[in-house]
Structure 1
Amino acid sequence: MQTEIRNLLDCHVVGSDGQSIGKVGQVYLNDHTGEPEWVTVRTGFFGMKQTFVPLANARRSGEEIRVPFDREMIKGAPNIDVDGRLSLQEEADLYRYYGMQPSAVPQQRTGEPRTRGPITGERIERQTGRLAGETRGDVTEDRDIDITRSEERLRIGTESRETGRVHLHKYVETETVRETVPLSHEEVVIEREAINDGEAVGAQEIHEEDREMILHEQRPVVGKETKPVERIHIHKQDVRHEETVEGEVRKERFEIDEEGVTRGEAERFGRRGKDKPPER
């Protein structure tokens, strides 16, 4: 039976119109016969949606399962959670949708709680009422049972994003500068000195004579020169700081049922907590 189930998980479902519907996602077993009764088909974009399809009147050929329903009808089937168990009401709704009488649902289960769960390629769950490798009655004959426990870990990283820009612009402004400059100029000073009688000054003749003296003065002269006075350098530096981030992670836990007594992990690994495995 386990081999048959795994073969079904490798198949593609083809509709009555010859169109490929999608790959089998999960297999649901009949609780009392243990036979495959429903499969889910991955449809929609990227195969994210799974739709229930009955295996009644289906024909398998190699890796294809041909069902008597076309693609559009299968895509429009009732939307039911594929991770839980099918309730009797859900199964009846599916049968009605596919044109099969609700009476086709096994009567011996009327009034019972849900008796069916999914089987995937990764695990065969106890929800199905039958675990692959077990005998009927859910009692394993193996000496060991291995179950992997998984948990999520936060993966913390960093990303670089733009926070701002620095723009350096040099412009020219004009201002008036006033300074006091000392200046000088020449002026004429006339001094007269009387010549006393008896002073020897030599013979003098009456005649005309011209003499000329040049006078000078200082005037302010304004000139300009360009002189570098300051250099500006801009660079980036990394400033380190810390920030606390948080997120929710899920962890799988074991619960072991021994003779009707359910033991959790804390009790299982040492009642006084001495042997409790460390949290990771």
Structure 2
Amino acid sequence: MITQAQIPAVLDHPVYDASGNKIGEAKHVFVDDETGRPDWVSVKTGFLTGAECFVPIHEATVVEDHLEVPYPKGKVKDAPSVDVDAGGHLSAAEERRLYEYYGIGWEGTQEQGGRSGDDAMTRSEEHMHVGVEQREAGKARLRKYVVTEEVQQTIPVRHEEVVLEREPVTDANRDAALSGPEISEAEHEVTLHAEEPVVETRATPVERVRLSTEEVADEETVRGQVRKERIEADLPDEERGTDR
């Protein structure tokens, strides 16, 4: 919405649609007779024909050096042509036809513009509503593979060694000493034993591993743009200087 103070900045300046397409040049701004609020702007769409199309200015915005309207260029150029009387006014019938073309409720516009006798304006604001949507953030997987490691362990082992024992012949062992021939050859053998490490491996379950998910709460700051309407009052000079 533009104010009366912005009208000079609109006239003879480019008019664009919301997609950035230039529609033409703003030539005339028509205001409501009762509220003084700008209602329509006429846009000259061609240099040769000089045709002017009417577009509602309620939701238009002044962007840098041009006016931006929320209607496509083709919609504006195909608007019905209307006749403006000598006083620069649109008739009620022509205005109704334009409102119907742009899909704007005539009755709702009358209430908003004060045509029903209401002396108050409605100021609206946009509010940002933020929600969440779930998306895939990544994948996790388990993979089992085999590695070989060198390990060592110390264990006790035993072995037998030969001990040569000599004992003199006494009365106690004389009979055993004389049991064989007096002079002969003989041989006696002893088997030695020894322990040695024996290694074998056994697979033993040691743990169970699985993947699961858990939700972790976090916070993110979301930024956006919202539009707010502002209402300005143009007061007579004598009222501006009055102390209250």
TM-score by length of 2: 0.47
TM-score by length of 1: 0.42
Higher relative contact order (CA 8 A, sep 6+): 2
